[in-house]
Every structure is written in C-alpha cells, then in structure tokens.
C-alpha cells in the first residue's frame, strides 16, 4: 500500500484493500474521502519526473522514446519506493529489494496476459489487415471516405465499442488502423484520423476491462474489471463519447472549410471511374 494512497483513503477502506477483501461500492462513504493536496503533489511530481527523464534520455543520449519510457519507469519506481520507505521510517535498500521481489514473483506473473496482448498489438495490424478481403474493404471503406461526417466519428466510436467488448484499446486501435490500408493516403486527412484515434482511445480506456488501470483497481477493490468499466463507468463513457463525437464533427467542418491551419483535404471532382478525387487545398 503506497503512502500516497493512504493519504487519500480512510483507514477502513485502506484496511479492506490491504486485506484484498471484496468491497461493496454501496458501503464506501464517498463523503469521507478527502483529497490530500500533499499526496496529489507527490503524484504530479512523479509524472513530471517521468516526462523530464524521458525527454532527457531521448535528447541527451539519443535513446529511442520507447526505450526511454522503459528506462525512466524503472528509475521512477526505484526513487518512488525509496521515498515511501523514508517516509515510513524503513530502510531504503530493504524496500527496494522487497519491491523488486514483488515485481518478479507477483506483479509480473499477474500481468502476463496484459503483457502478451500489448506486445502482440503492435503486430496485429500488419498481420490481420492482409487477411481481410481487399474487395470487401474497398466496398466498405470507399463510401465512408466520401462521408467524413461518418468516417472520423465512426473511428472513435468503433475504438470504444471494441474496447468495451474486451479488446485492449491498443489492440483495437491497431485493428482499426489496419483497415485504412484499403484507402489511398491522399484521400485521408491524417490530422483528423490521428485525432479521432486519440479521442476514441481516451474514452476507450475507461470502457475497456483490459487496461492497466481497470485491472489494478479491480484487484484492489476485489471486483471484476468489467464491473468498473461497464457498470460504474458506463454513463460516463456514453457522455464522454457523445462529447468526443461532437468535437470530431466540429473538426471535420472546420477542416472542410479550410480553417484548421489553413490546410485541408477537399473533394474537387470525379474521376473517369466515377469515384471522388481529392487534393490538398490551402
């Protein structure tokens, strides 16, 4: 149990979670939970340190960002454990050693399914996309390209729906991105596509039962991840998805009018085959 979390939670809730007993949400006195600014500052400090460490490793030592994230995470874990040990009056070396053993014997074993899914996600788009019938992709994706008001909001909605159905958002994003291989790159607006994927990703993290946050929180509270993501976060997900769709639609309108950065991809006419031809306009 981290010192920061103990500052957030009342003793009764902390004891229940420490004992890994099932917690009935109806029995939790939300009014008794008070935000500790000191704990919040500590957490924000860890986040700030991670950002600085990642940027420093990448810029100073020319380490790739992915490797920099992994190295910075290890450094942050060691320093955070040492800080908590000092606050609790324990030995820093003993705390770090114990934390390392927990990662090796418990945390790593529990995280094997998630590690496997995340590790495979990067290859799924390249592996699955060629297996999909190209004619089917062109028949489905072709009309969507000509209707951006459906295509880009649909990307965010599909990402959230697939994630809520049980896919990790990274896997869902990889699969959706793979379907765009049937669309000529000049017919897409890359900024809108990236924004739609990122927006859908943000909502999907609260809807997927296989994200790190939902799995860890479910284990702490003694409930199933689906209980958190679907039952508890269901209404929030619907509201957030509605807001995201409205924002994406607004972005599509601005892009088509050439307002967003003065650059957009707009239809300029039909080719001899009858399909819409696109070009970049300024």
pLDDT tens per residue across all 282 residues of the chain: 444 444 434 333 344 344 444 445 555 555 556 777 887 888 888 889 999 999 999 999 999 988 999 899 899 888 888 888 888 888 888 888 988 888 888 877 777 766 776 666 666 656 766 677 777 777 777 777 778 888 899 999 999 998 888 777 877 887 787 777 667 677 778 888 889 988 998 898 888 887 777 877 787 777 888 888 888 888 999 999 999 999 999 988 888 776 445 544 444 444 444 444 444 444
> Rounded to an integer, what distance in angstroms lies between the CA atom of residue 82 and that of residue 98?
11
Asked if residue 181 lies in contact with residue 137, where contact means CB atoms within 8 angstroms, the answer is: yes
Asked if residue 192 lies in contact with residue 255, where contact means CB atoms within 8 angstroms, the answer is: yes
Write down the residue that tokens 């390249």 correspond to: 126
For residue 115, report the phi and psi dihedrals to the nearest 5 degrees.
-60, -40
> Rounded to an integer, what distance in angstroms lies between the CA atom of residue 181 and that of residue 125?
10
Asked if residue 95 lies in contact with residue 82, where contact means CB atoms within 8 angstroms, the answer is: yes
Query: Distances in Å between the alpha carbon of 188 and those of 97, 167, 180, 182, 267?
Result: 51, 26, 9, 11, 11
Kindly report the number of other CB atoms within 10 A of residue 102's CB atom. 12
Burial (0-12, 13-18, 19+ Cβ within 10 Å), 105? exposed
Asked if residue 206 lies in contact with residue 229, where contact means CB atoms within 8 angstroms, the answer is: yes
Asked if residue 257 lies in contact with residue 148, where contact means CB atoms within 8 angstroms, the answer is: no
Asked if residue 232 lies in contact with residue 26, where contact means CB atoms within 8 angstroms, the answer is: no
> Rounded to an integer, what distance in angstroms lies between the CA atom of residue 46 and that of residue 75?
11
Provide the pLDDT for residue 24: 53
Q: Evaluate if pTM is beyond 0.75.
A: no
Rg (CA), the chain: 23
Interior angle at CA 204, CA 240 and CA 230, nearest 5: 80
Asked if residue 231 lies in contact with residue 209, where contact means CB atoms within 8 angstroms, the answer is: no
Nearest one of 117, 218, 224 to 173, comparing CA atoms: 117
Helix 169-179 and helix 112-128: axis angle, to 10°? 0
> Tokens in use for 152?
């880009």
190: enclosing H helix or E strand: helix 190-204
């Amino acid at each position: 149990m981290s010192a920061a979390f103990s500052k957030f939670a009342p003793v009764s809730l902390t004891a229940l979670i420490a004992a890994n007993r099932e917690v009935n949400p109806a029995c939790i006195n939300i009014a008794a939970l008070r935000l500790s600014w000191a704990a919040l500052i500590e957490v924000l400090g860890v986040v700030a340190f991670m950002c600085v460490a990642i940027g420093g490793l990448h810029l100073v030592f020319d380490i790739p960002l992915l490797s920099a994230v992994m190295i910075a995470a290890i450094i942050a874990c060691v320093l955070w454990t040492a800080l908590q040990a000092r606050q609790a009056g324990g030995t820093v070396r003993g705390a770090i050693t114990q934390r390392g053993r927990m990662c090796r014997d418990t945390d790593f074993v529990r995280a094997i399914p998630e590690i496997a899914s995340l590790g495979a996600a990067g290859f799924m788009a390249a592996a699955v996309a060629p297996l999909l019938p190209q004619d089917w992709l062109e028949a489905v994706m072709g009309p969507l390209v000509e209707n951006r008001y459906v295509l880009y909001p649909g990307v965010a909605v599909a990402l959230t729906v697939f994630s809520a159905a049980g896919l990790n958002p990274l896997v869902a994003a990889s699969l959706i991105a793979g379907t765009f291989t049937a669309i000529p790159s000049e017919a897409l607006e890359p900024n809108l596509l990236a924004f739609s994927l990122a927006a859908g990703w943000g909502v999907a993290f609260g809807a997927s039962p296989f994200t790190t946050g939902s799995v860890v929180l479910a284990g702490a509270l003694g409930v199933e991840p689906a209980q958190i993501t679907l039952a508890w976060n269901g209404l929030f997900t619907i509201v957030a998805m509605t807001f995201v769709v409205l924002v994406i639609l607004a972005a599509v309108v601005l892009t088509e009018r050439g307002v967003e950065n003065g650059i957009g991809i707009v239809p300029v006419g039909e080719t001899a085959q009858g399909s819409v031809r696109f070009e970049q306009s300024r």
